[in-house]
Amino acid sequence: MAEQRPPVPPFTEETARRKVRAAEDAWNTRDPRRVALAYTPDSRWRNRAEFLAGREQIAAFLTRKWQREHDYRLVKELWAFGGERIAVRFAYEWHDGDGQWHRSYGNENWEFDEHGLMAHRLASVNDLPITPEQRLLHWPLGRRPDDHPGLTGLGL
C-alpha cells in the first residue's frame, strides 16, 4: 500500500489550509527525518540556490539548516491553490551562533502526488537582520499556538 499523507489532491480551500498548517507544524518540530516523510522518496526541491532530490538530501539539508538557525519559529499562510498545487508565503525568525536575529521571508510553490506527498517544492527566501525587539514570533519552541496571529494578523 502506498504511503498516504492526507489531505490529498485535488485541494479545496479547506484542505489546502489544513495542508499548509500541517507543513508549518512539522517544520516547527525542527525534526529533519519527520519533515522529510511529507515528501515523495524522489521529491525535487529548489531552496534559494540549492537543488535537492530525495528524502535523504532533504533531511541532510534540514539538519544543516537547523544547526545554524537557532530558536527557529515559522508561520506559513495559504496564498493560492488549484488541483494538486498549493502556493504559500511564509516568515520565520531565528538567530545565528553570534546571537544576531533574522526574519526570513519567502514564497513556496508545492506540487503533490495523488497520495498527498509533496513531489516538488520551489522556495524563494530573503533574510532580514532584525533586533530582538523587532521579533514578532513569540511562543515556546514547537507548534504555533492557535491564538498566535498568522502573517496577515502580524502585518507581514
End-to-end distance of the chain based on CA atoms, in angstroms? Answer: 41
**How far is Cα 46 from Cα 3, in angstroms, rounded to an integer?**
23
* Strand 118-130, strand 39-47: pairing: parallel
Q: Are 87 and 11 in contact (CB under 8 A)?
A: no
Average pLDDT for 70-99? 98
pLDDT in tens, 43-56: 999 999 999 999 99
User: According to the model, what pLDDT value does residue 2 have?
Assistant: 72
Average pLDDT for 127-146? 98
pLDDT in tens, 16-35: 999 999 999 999 999 999 99
User: According to the model, what pLDDT value does residue 113 have?
Assistant: 98
Residue 86's alpha-carbon distances to 6, 37, 107, 117, in angstroms, are 14, 18, 11, 12
